[in-house]
Amino acid sequence: MPALTRNKKKGAKSQTPPTKQVTKPKTPPSKPQTTTLKKGAKKPPLKKQKKEVVVEEEPLEDDDEVVSDASIDAESEELDESDDGGSNGLFSDDEDENDDDDETLGDDFLEGSGDEEEEEEEEEEEGPSDVGSDSDSDSDDDDLVKQSEAIDRRLAKQKADAEAEQQELNKQDDSEHDAFRLPTEEELEEEARGPPDLPLLKTRIEDLVRALKNFKAFRPAGATRKECVEQLKADLGSYYGYNSFLIGTLVEMFPPGELMELIEAFEKQRPTSIRTNTLKTRRRDLADVLLNRGVNLDPLSKWSKVGLVIYDSQVPIGATPEYLAGYYMLQGASSFLPVMALAPRENERIVDVAAAPGGKTTYIAALMKNTGLIYANEMKVPRLKSLTANLHRMGVTNTIVCNYDGRELPKVLGQNTVDRVLLDAPCSGTGVISKDESVKISKTADEIKKFAHLQKQLILAAIDMVDANSKTGGYIVYSTCSLMVAENEAVIDYALKKRDVKLVTCGLDFGRKGFTRFREHRFQPSLDKTRRFYPHVHNMDGFFVAKLKKMSNMSKSSEDDDEAVETVEQDEVSDDDDDEAEAIEKKRNKERRTKSKEDKRIKKDKKSKSENGNVEPKARKQKKKRSEWKNEIAQAREEKRIAMREKAKENK
């Protein structure tokens, strides 16, 4: 072989091993060798190249002379390399030498792929390698410890840099805070003369919110917390267009940071959502059809199995063939919640007190699978048209539409006659400002009180209709699209006092708990089972949901109920509503007459019990008088007849 002859010739001349390729794989490279490779342009051979080298030198191992010469020369070279800074490790087996060579080559290869500067720094930190170590395991452990220490130093340095940056930012904030102060009365008068300076108001609102979050640290010079709150109310009202009552109520309900999130959420429209009509189709099939029509949609959320959210559409979402066929209903996500809390069952009798335009009623019918009976009541006649149209379009067949005042329904349908009642009460609409911005300036404290009184009457009527002995029902769900405590928690607390009902869980896994205390008001602890939903938290309209269970058909009514009803009627009477005032007066007169009759009967019964002996003679006297009158009348008639007969005879 040519390789053998070449090596033999070289061995005869210089008496050294043929090439360094044979000795390199047999001696483990040390760390100084790796540094020379890093500084030079050449890199250690890859695995494929190493295998080729081993294959070329296999025939040399068969020749005894070459091996002996190579071993002698290898020892001499190892001594030379140890003098130059190499390692003095001696190995007996060729297999162990090959394995160690593979490991060192892999380490060299990985180290060569990194940045040279970082490696040099690590080597400086680690220090020179120990020459003549007893085993490789000890050196590896030392290397790992040193590397971990280097990583710890690096992390500590990064942490120190981050803290320095944070301190600089805090200094900048402090400098800005020092410049902030409340405007004087003269400055406020000048602002009031001209149009509002929106950029100035925006920056001042941000500064006030920041100061109120941590008033101790960012307190404006010479200002109290009350002054900052009053200034924030004024600025928010002028910037976003709220009246003083509504913005003041919101400031009392929410902390400054959350208040800003809520107000900003009111300025944006909520996403459009639709509800699949399970009486006609499935959500998956409906989604496929609408996607083919160019509608970009997604499932509404994990808590709803029938909802879809619409992002954009190439066709009008309220005029598609599927909409006209009744496959889905345009409905806000918050309107799903009362029906889910009601949880109607098949073959039940259910009342929807305020049903128009029919979104909740059709949802109830779908859950009941068109079984049982639903009374869909609506007080306003113009809204009956949309209610009936949606019921026909959605294929609902178990519903009766009626037009009554919700307070009169117990007299019409009867008390203790239905299984469940849904009362989505009329309210101020302070939770849907994004749909109707006129709420910002139109609602006042007097209107909130009127709505609250009406809601108290309606919830008492709803409770009276429910049968507490129902096998499957006995539940009342009360909901509003308002954020006011007077329309939500106060109404439920009133119902708990006046009727034998208790609050139960709504069955909704999300939503914030209701208030158990607000300002000077203290409500029952069970009100934490109610749920509130906010646009800035749940990305839906502001909503309130409560679920009541009727425990017995006995009511806790007393004279206080009558007084409350009278105050409600007095508050609802206005100069414009003459017809309603007349109707209320008639009701009062009837009630007074019935009370007066009952009082007279009670008095007569008392007299009869006290004067048992005198009752019979009085009755006999009355009978005698009646008989005398009859006799007188009969005599007068006979006298007239006699006179008539005499005249007739004379004429003949």
Q: Show binding-site residues for S-adenosyl-L-methionine.
A: 354-360, 378, 405, 424
By C-alpha distance, which of 513, 505, 515, 511 is closest to 535? Answer: 511
481 is catalytic: yes
Q: Can you spell out the DSSP letters for 369-424?
A: TT-SEEEEE-S-GGGHHHHHHHHHHTT--SEEEE---GGGHHHHH-TT-BSEEEEE
Contacts of 123 (CB under 8 A, 6+ apart): 35
Find out whether 458 and 515 touch, Cβ atoms under 8 Å: no
For helices 225-240 and 198-213, the axis angle rounded to 10 degrees is: 140
Find out whether 503 and 489 touch, Cβ atoms under 8 Å: no
Q: How many CB atoms lie within 10 A of CB 286?
A: 21
Half-sphere exposure of 333 (CA within 13 A, CB side): 24
From CA 245, how far away is CA 652, in angstroms rounded?
A: 98
Q: Looking at this protein, which amino acid is placed at residue 498?
A: K
The alpha carbon dihedral of 137, 142, 143, 149 has a sign of positive
Reported in sequence order, the residue ranges of 220-372 that DSSP labels E, i.e. its strands, are 272-276, 295-299, 307-313, 328-330, 349-352
Find out whether 356 and 378 touch, Cβ atoms under 8 Å: yes
Find out whether 368 and 396 touch, Cβ atoms under 8 Å: no
Q: Which of 228, 402, 427, 481 is catalytic?
A: 481
Contacts of 608 (CB under 8 A, 6+ apart): 615
Residue 146: burial class (beta carbons within 10 Å; 0-12, 13-18, 19+)? middle
Q: Kindly compute the dihedral angle of the four CA atoms of residues 43, 48, 51, 53, in this order, to the nearest 10 degrees.
A: -50
DSSP state of 105: H
From CA 109, how far away is CA 112, in angstroms rounded?
A: 5
Q: How many CB atoms lie within 10 A of CB 328?
A: 25
By C-alpha distance, which of 354, 350, 351, 458 is closest to 408? Answer: 458
The token pair at 238 is: 């002028």
From CA 231, how far away is CA 237, in angstroms rounded?
A: 10
Residues with catalytic roles:
481
